[in-house]
Structure 1
Amino acid sequence: MPSVPTRGGDVAYRVKGKGQPIVLLHATLHDSRDYEVIADRLAEKYRTISVDWPWHGDSKGTPSKERLSAVGFADVLEDVVEGLKLEPAIFIGNSVGGFAAARLAITQPDKVRGLVLVNAGGFVTWTPFTRLVARLLGFASISRLVMPHLVGRYMSPQTSHDEDITRRVTTRARTEEGASVVAALWRSFLDPRHDLRSRAESIKAPVLLVWGTRDPVFSRTAAEETKLCIAGAKLEFLDAGHVVFSSMPTEFQRLVQLFIESIVEE
Structure 2
Amino acid sequence: MHTMHTTAGELAYEDTGAGPAVVLLHANLHDHHDFDPIVPALAAEHRVIAVDWPGHGASEPNPNVTAVGFADALVELVAALELDSAVFLGNSVGGFAAARLALDHPERVAGLVLVNTGGFVRQSPLTRAYCNLYGSGPVARYWLPRSVRNYTKPMSPHDDAVIERAIRFGATDTGRATYSALWHSFNDPGYDLTARAPEITAPTLIVWGSRDPILPLRYGKLAHALIPNSQLHVLPTGHLPFSSAPQEFLDLVLPFLRNSVASRES
| TM-score, normalising length: structure 2 | 0.95
Identity %: 44
User: Does the aligned pair in 1 maintain the 2:123–2:192 contact within 8 Å?
Assistant: no
Structure 1 distance, partners of 2:217, 2:114, is 14
Post-superposition offset of 1:112: 0.5
Letter of the 1:29 partner, please give it.
L
User: Does the aligned pair in 2 maintain the 1:135–1:186 contact within 8 Å?
Assistant: yes
3-state SS in 1 of match to 2:13: strand
What residue in structure 1 maps to residue 216 of structure 2? 219
Deviates more, 1:86-95 or 1:142-151: 142-151
Post-superposition offset of 1:114: 0.2
Q: Does 1:198 align with 2:198?
A: no
Structure 2 distance, partners of 1:141, 1:176, is 13
Deviating 4+ runs (over 6 angstroms)? none
Letter of the 2:195 partner, please give it.
S
User: Does the aligned pair in 2 maintain the 1:30–1:165 contact within 8 Å?
Assistant: yes
Given the alignment, which residue of 212, 227, 238 partners 1:241? 238
What residue in structure 1 maps to residue 20 of structure 2? 20
| Runs of at least 5 residues in structure 2 that lack an aligned partner in the other structure | none
Q: Does 1:94 align with 2:91?
A: yes
Residues 73-92 of structure 1: pairs in structure 2 closer than 5 A:
73-92=70-89
Post-superposition offset of 1:61: 5.2
Aligned pairs, number: 263
Residues 27-66 of structure 1: pairs in structure 2 closer than 5 A:
27-60=27-60, 66=64
Residues 52-201 of structure 1: pairs in structure 2 closer than 5 A:
52-60=52-60, 66=64, 68-201=65-198
| Root mean square deviation, CA, Å | 1.3
Structure 2 distance, partners of 1:86, 1:264, is 14
3-state SS in 1 of match to 2:90: strand
User: Does the aligned pair in 2 maintain the 1:115–1:205 contact within 8 Å?
Assistant: yes
Post-superposition offset of 1:249: 0.5
3-state SS in 2 of match to 1:85: coil
| Runs of at least 5 residues in structure 1 that lack an aligned partner in the other structure | none
Post-superposition offset of 1:183: 0.6
| TM-score, normalising length: structure 1 | 0.95
